Amino acid sequence: QYILGIETSCDETAVAIIKNGREIVANVVASQIESHKRFGGVVPEIASRHHVEQITIVIEEAINQANLTFNELDAIAVTEGPGLVGALLIGVNAAKALAFAHNLPLVPVHHIAGHIYANRLVSELKFPLLALVVSGGHTELVYMKEHGHFEVIGETRDDAAGEAYDKVARTLNLPYPGGPHIDRLAQEGSPTIDLPRAWLEEGSYDFSFSGLKSAVINTVHNAEQRGETIAPQDLAASFQESVIEVLVTKAKRAVAEYGVGQILLAGGVAANKGLRNALEKAFVGQEGIELVIPPLSLCTDNAAMIAAAGSVMFEKGIRAELSLNANPGLDIEIFN
């Protein structure tokens, strides 16, 4: 079974082909980061224009890399949402054109389901499991009792973890996207600055990062007003410690309460070294629980993860009509 996946929800134009749900035979990512850097974030209009320019080239490159023809494919999977509507539309329209031209089934995929399924390219999934999703737009704990079934047991009430990383980086005058820069700085500093942790109500699996973000910004401004400087590496280390402590503590509690045998890490912030180390410390060697963490290239946006999730959705019989539209606010639980 060969599934071609297309991902254009944000600033990566990506196409991949997956064999039998787990084996990458082509994986092409055209990143636009350089074009958005000078604006300090993703500019939707620019993103759409890049996707239009790149999509045909990237599809062709994936087909060549896999050494396949279109009639050897079994389905076209595409990110339906969530994401930037203009960006999503380019991928959705390309997928519809391919499905129509080559008479192939069209499979709609939720972008976060894709991030979660990046893990299946590393290890076979064992249910029930929990996924800790930490990306630019999402921070969630997702419980899965079986393939293609997603139950959000906790999520952020304000900023996503990646968003907080990017805003803190901006305060420290680091380039976009700031996550990797904070991660690197944090490893050079020590967590000497006292910052808040948002635990929320007892028993809650929800998250909140806007208070932490504001505390970092206030710390910087107060120091500036007093004519002092704060070592950016110590501030980065303190911020990162707060984020990781909350994520790991809640993940541990959820693993115990839900009695899962596997915990997956997903989303762009899964590339964070501090978080990866903390999760390894928390779960590796613990009896009855397996930790799966994808390689860095499968953590940030890519289409291999979309094809991997698409393969499962395809087997479940999920299909989209050729009237499929992009859905920037798509809910992950509607696929259950």
User: How far is the first Cα of the chain from the last one, in angstroms, to the nearest whole number?
Assistant: 23
Annotated binding residue at 194?
A: no
Annotated binding residue at 41?
A: no
CB of 129 to Mg ion, least distance (A): 25
Q: Which of 140, 206, 241, 301 binds Mg ion (CB under 5 A)?
A: 301
Q: Does 10 participate in binding Mg ion (rule CB under 5 A)? A: yes
Q: Does 135 participate in binding ligand ATP (rule CB under 6 A)? A: yes
Q: Does 302 participate in binding Fe ion (rule CB under 5 A)? A: no
CA angle centred on 330, ends 100 and 19, rounded to 5°: 50
The CA distance from 136 to 151, in Å, is 20
Q: Does 301 participate in binding Fe ion (rule CB under 5 A)? A: yes
> Which residues have a Cβ under 8 Å from the Cβ of 201 and sit 6 or more positions away?
none
> Residue 131: what are its φ and ψ, rounded to 5°?
-120, 130
Q: Which of 93, 135, 302, 311 binds Fe ion (CB under 5 A)?
A: 135
Most distant CA atoms of the chain, gap in Å = 68
Q: 10 Å Cβ neighbour count for 329?
A: 8
Q: Does 80 participate in binding Fe ion (rule CB under 5 A)? A: no
The CA distance from 107 to 77, in Å, is 5
- Rounded to whole angstroms, what are the CA distances from 216 to 94, 183, 258? 42, 15, 34
**Backbone φ/ψ region at 81: left (φ over 0), alpha (ψ -120 to 50), beta:** left
Is the bond preceding residue 105 a cis peptide, omega within 30 degrees?
no
Q: Which of 21, 108, 179, 294 binds ligand ATP (CB under 6 A)?
A: 179
Nearest residue (beta carbon) to ligand ATP: 268
Q: Does 212 participate in binding Mg ion (rule CB under 5 A)? A: no
| Helix, strand, coil distribution of the chain in percent, nearest 5 | 45, 20, 35
Annotated binding residue at 147?
A: no
- Sole window of 4-12, 50-58, 253-261, 325-333 interacting with Mg ion (rule: CB under 5 A): 4-12
Site string for ligand ATP, 262-281 (x = CB under 6 A): -----xxx-xx---------
Q: 10 Å Cβ neighbour count for 146?
A: 12
Partner in contact with 183, chosen from ligand ATP, Fe ion, Mg ion, none, beta carbon below 5 to 8 Å by kind: ligand ATP
Q: Does 131 participate in binding ligand ATP (rule CB under 6 A)? A: no
Count of residues that interact with ligand ATP, criterion CB under 6 A: 24
Query: Cβ closer to Mg ion: 135 or 219?
Result: 135
Q: Which of 80, 159, 183, 241 binds ligand ATP (CB under 6 A)?
A: 183
Site string for ligand ATP, 215-234 (x = CB under 6 A): --------------------
- Sole window of 7-15, 47-55, 100-108, 118-126 interacting with Mg ion (rule: CB under 5 A): 7-15
* Location of structure tokens 């999934």: 125
Annotated binding residue at 74?
A: no
- Which stretches of the chain are DSSP H helices? 33-37, 44-66, 85-101, 111-117, 161-171, 179-188, 210-225, 232-258, 273-283, 296-299, 304-315
Query: Cβ closer to ligand ATP: 99 or 306?
Result: 306
Q: Does 83 participate in binding ligand ATP (rule CB under 6 A)? A: yes
Annotated binding residue at 102?
A: no
The CA distance from 227 to 54, in Å, is 48
Annotated binding residue at 11?
A: no
Q: Does 11 participate in binding Fe ion (rule CB under 5 A)? A: no
Binding residues for ligand ATP (CB under 6 A): 9-10, 83, 111, 115, 135-138, 162, 165-166, 177-180, 183, 267-269, 271-272, 300-301
